[in-house]
Amino acid sequence: MNDVIHLLPDHVANQIAAGEVVQRPASVIKELLENAIDARANSIKVIIKEAGKILIQVIDDGAGMSLTDARLCFERHATSKISAAEDLFSLKTKGFRGEALASIAAIAHVELKTRQEGDEVGTCIKIEGSEVVSQEPVVTPVGTSICVKNLFYNIPARRNFLKSDAVETRHIIDEFQRVALAHPTIQFSLFHNGSEIFQLPGTNYRQRIVNIFGGKTNEKLVPVEEDTEIVKIHGFVGKPEFAKRSRGEQFFFVNDRFIKSPYLNHAVVAAFEGLLKDKAYPSYFLYLDVDPKSIDINIHPTKTEIKFDDEHALYSILRSSIKHSLGQFNVAPVLDFERDATLDTPYEFNQKGVTPPKVEVDRNFNPFQESNSVSGSYRPSGFRKESSGGSWESLYSGLQQKEFGTRNSEMNSMEFESDEVTGNLFGSSEEKESGNRTFQLNKKYIVSTLKSGILVIDQHRAHTRILYEELLKSITVTAAVSQQLLFPLMLQFSSQEIALLKEAKESLEQTGFVFSEFSKDSVEIIGIPTLISESEVAILLEQLLSDLENEVPESGFSQADILAKSLAKGMAVKSGTVLNNTEQQNILNSLFACKETNLTPYNRQIFITLTVDELDKKFM
């Protein structure tokens, strides 16, 4: 029998490895940025075109590479970071497996230009699909420049799986922000299709957060500091009143490496216990420095998950340090048994004696005298006694009983308009005359009678369906009515959220929003839909941005659909709201005028019916 096992060619093995390392253009950005940081760069510039599908270029002023290193860096498992297996437990660099450049070169056209400090000329290498096309000397600045063109050109199936440019750009910005937040002393810049997105100078941690997420972020941050034998924690958490309905601004960094950890996230949420509103998530930017020997980074292809030796101790320390910071900066209530000097007696009152208060009574005061004048100690300063106290009857001398009778007759003969109710969905007109057809149960359900039984409606879900169809019609067919604000409403958002709002601006204006100005980190609103109040606008837009990020719309129709669903969910009447009979009737009639009455836009049941037969069986 012939042998069936054989070694894969290098270019095939590289393409298989690329499936783990390079999932989308953002993966390439992450790997190249980490290489530039490992090369001790002080300034890193990122240039992308068409969300990285056509071009990704990363330019740094780091140490650069020699001719031999430049050629060898594209080989599989070629790295300068480790030389033995024991080195995996003392990592202080970003990369260490030596797979990134080999995987990228297997699925794209790559051009590398690099030069070291002492060399007169640098090296230029061009690779296409793991094959070296050319290698020649070139004049280039000190550092390294890598161009990655036509990503997935030789794997069309993988290229077809990429999302729209807007979605892929969003992923690139996420990766860029994570690396930039971990290294505030390095200058970063990002350009997309020739326009500048980020220009971040070298600074400290707090200022880097402010530069990325907007100037108003500074007042939202509470510093966190803790130094123990197990871990050193520093960073910031957001104040509870600025908590958002999305998890966007949540960052953990372990030894300057971004990680995802639901376990540590739970520790942060536990520290905010009792301070957050329902379904609100705190913002945090936390940097953890631990002994490299106590963690294992090599458990996930993208290195975003880490295994800790003692997670329980880390959980307790993180939770306690955040609670301490919230109490220290008067964000959370604390018990303080120390004497407060501001409550001491003022200096000038220390030697004064205690004098009992005096009460003066006017013993000549008689409320039954004809002249109710103010006298004695009750008379205020500047009060003048009137000459006559009985002239008040003259105020009514011109009014006659006849005039009152005339007005009463006019009121009795006045007629008022009323809307005529012509339709009746449930029951007969006799049932309507006998009393209300609906009532509210537990401030959540609307109960009505049918000819065949009972109808129970979830008021929130029903109103969501009604608003969804109205908003979808406004976005796609006719514009909704807008109420103008007396004072413009200024809301602060990150640059990424501002970009999302600009994409949805036209659809939002169809629903009733009116925007007057978009800046780098804020938006000014001068008109809002008539169905919402001014205080609900910020919450509504935050929920909308979260939905847009999670649903990643691919077309104009799907964006309109997501927009309508998100706004309807935020604007609908909530469970626990008391509705009068007119409002109950309005929801009932509007629901059964919708095209779809059984399910919400999120495919959840709106109402149930209980027939008389089902009720009869309950009593058997």
Tens of pLDDT, residues 566-581: 888 888 898 888 999 8
Distances (CA, A) of 229 to 226, 289, 307, 388: 10, 10, 18, 88
Percent of the chain with pLDDT over 70: 79
Can you give the pLDDT at residue 223? 93
pLDDT higher than threshold 70 for residue 99: yes
Can you give the pLDDT at residue 122? 93
Of 208 and 358, which is predicted with more confidence? 208
Interior/surface letters 199-212, b for 16+ CB within 10 angstroms, e for the rest: ebeeeebbebbbbb
pLDDT confidence of 86, banded at 50, 70, 90?
Answer: low
- Give 101's strand partners: none
Can you give the pLDDT at residue 382? 45
Please give the CATH topology (third level) of the domain spanning 438-608: Ribosomal Protein S8; Chain: A, domain 1 (3.30.1370)
Alpha carbons 27 and 38: distance in angstroms, whole number:
17
Alpha carbons 458 and 450: distance in angstroms, whole number:
16
Mean pLDDT, range 374-396, rounded to an integer: 49
- Give 144's strand partners: 60, 114
Mean pLDDT, range 98-119, rounded to an integer: 88
Cβ within 8 Å of residue 588, ≥6 positions away: 425, 426, 438, 446, 448, 457, 462
- Least confident piece of the model among 83-87, 285-289, 402-406, 485-489: 402-406
pLDDT confidence of 551, banded at 50, 70, 90?
Answer: low
Can you give the pLDDT at residue 88? 63
Of 366 and 397, which is predicted with more confidence? 366
Q: Which of 287, 288, 306, 308 is nearest to 297 (CA)?
A: 306
- Domain regions of the chain by residue span: 10-200, 205-328, 438-608
Highest mean pLDDT among 62-66, 421-425, 490-494, 528-532: 62-66
Alpha carbons 601 and 468: distance in angstroms, whole number:
7
Alpha carbons 218 and 521: distance in angstroms, whole number:
13
Can you give the pLDDT at residue 347? 58
pLDDT higher than threshold 70 for residue 511: yes
Alpha carbons 380 and 375: distance in angstroms, whole number:
9
pLDDT confidence of 350, banded at 50, 70, 90?
Answer: low
Cβ within 8 Å of residue 371, ≥6 positions away: 389
pLDDT confidence of 407, banded at 50, 70, 90?
Answer: low
Mean pLDDT, range 276-289, rounded to an integer: 88
Alpha carbons 486 and 205: distance in angstroms, whole number:
39
pLDDT confidence of 400, banded at 50, 70, 90?
Answer: low
pLDDT higher than threshold 70 for residue 377: no
Can you give the pLDDT at residue 397? 56
Please give the CATH topology (third level) of the domain spanning 10-200: Heat Shock Protein 90 (3.30.565)
Range 205-328: architecture per CATH: 2-Layer Sandwich (3.30)
- Least confident piece of the model among 258-262, 270-274, 349-353, 411-415: 411-415
pLDDT confidence of 381, banded at 50, 70, 90?
Answer: very low
Alpha carbons 135 and 67: distance in angstroms, whole number:
9
Can you give the pLDDT at residue 204? 93
Mean pLDDT, range 76-80, rounded to an integer: 74
pLDDT in tens, 220-268: 899 999 999 989 999 999 998 888 877 778 999 998 889 888 899 999 9
pLDDT in tens, 420-467: 444 444 444 444 444 457 889 988 999 998 888 899 999 999 999 999
Can you give the pLDDT at residue 539? 82
pLDDT confidence of 96, banded at 50, 70, 90?
Answer: low
Can you give the pLDDT at residue 375? 45
Half-sphere exposure of 389 (CA within 13 A, CB side): 10
pLDDT confidence of 336, banded at 50, 70, 90?
Answer: low
Tokens of 350: 């220390």
pLDDT in tens, 45-64: 999 999 999 999 999 999 89
pLDDT in tens, 8-45: 777 677 666 666 678 889 999 998 998 899 889 999 99
pLDDT confidence of 401, banded at 50, 70, 90?
Answer: low
Backbone angles phi, psi at 137, to 5 degrees: -70, 155
Mean pLDDT, range 53-81, rounded to an integer: 87
Can you give the pLDDT at residue 130? 83
Backbone angles phi, psi at 337, to 5 degrees: -95, 5
pLDDT higher than threshold 80 for residue 182: yes
pLDDT in tens, 130-172: 888 999 999 999 999 999 999 988 888 888 888 888 788 888 9
